Amino acid sequence: MSTRHLLDPDLLPMLEVMPAIELSDEQLPISRAAFDEMVILGDPDEAGATREEIHVPGHNGGPEVRCLVYKPQEQKAEAPGFVHIHGGGYVLGKPEMADDMNLRVSGSLGAVVVSVDYRLAPEHPIPAPLDDCYAVLAWIHSNADELGIDKSRIAIGGESAGGGLAAALALKARDESEYPICFQMLVYPMLDDRTGTAEQPGDPLVGEFVWTRESNQFGWNAQLGDGPRVAPQVPARADTLKGLPPTWIMTAGLDLFRDENIDYARRLMADGVTTELRVYPAACHGFQLMREAPVSKRYAKDYFDALRRGLRVE
């Protein structure tokens, strides 16, 4: 059943640029190369920010973690910090994918952004990706004075698998009680390994475009390997969401993750977590790549407004 007629007409051109991702062991190197070719770096001067590549110590003696650090060109004292985690189904991508957005976040909100180049599955299944993200959270706290960051205003966030890792990072940080997080930004996060299975196939009206049930299962199976399917690696399987930081979570009306995202938001609210949920109608996974579409402009405004509030930027 085609759902093309339900998609916002302004988003139809993206289907020609970014068709559904088909993943397999043989296809993965090709898909990775295609993702790399799609990367377009932003202009630091235009955004009023700087970009620097660094490597931070790994978690518990693990390998160093490559990151991109973005700083305002005119940084104020006690700036907010933001740990960003890129998407790609746990098997694709790199921080350069979100370069333009992170430059704009740094320049317009005066934030120091650290974007994590975490290890990808299947070469590096759990706990490697989350360990890398936790290492960066630890590093930004430990080096807050040198970075000019206010430790009480460090937020985390990401898109798709990056949103899933951000949710996992929030759970791990809560349980470890070492590094406080003031806010989490979850952009159509990848939260539940059961989505797209026979057990949990979901609404047939979602998941046709860009990220499909088949790709979702490939990504989750690669990420989890032979490991246990439990939280924090699978955030949706957490017994409780109490004690998590205030959350902004968005999803799209035709996105495969729509229902798991709405359910996670509902559980957050039921567990007493201040939560804002946005559902963008007639939109699909990756829709914000069509930056001039009205729905994408609404998303960008909502994203910056929410992060501004979460980081307590005046």
Domain boundaries, the chain: 4-305
Residue 83 contacts residue 154 (beta carbons within 8 Å): yes
- The pLDDT-based confidence of 61 (bands split at 50, 70, 90) is very high
Long-range contacts of 145-149 (CB under 8 A, 24+ apart): 147/71, 147/79, 147/81, 147/112, 148/75, 148/77, 148/78, 148/79, 148/112, 149/78, 149/79, 149/80, 149/81, 149/112
Over the chain, what is the mean pLDDT? 96
- Amino acid in position 148: G
pTM of the full predicted structure?
0.97
Q: For residues 57-62, give the mean pLDDT.
A: 96
pLDDT tens digits for 247-273? 999 999 999 999 999 999 999 999 999
Report the pLDDT averaged over residues 141-157. 98
The pLDDT score that the predictor gives to residue 217 is: 97
Pick one of 3.30.1450.10, 3.40.50.10860, 3.40.50.150, 3.40.50.1820 as the CATH number of 4-305: 3.40.50.1820
pLDDT at 165: 98
Cα–Cα dist 107/306, whole Å? 16
Active site residues: 160, 255, 285
pLDDT at 111 over 80: yes
Is the pLDDT assigned to residue 20 strictly greater than 80? no
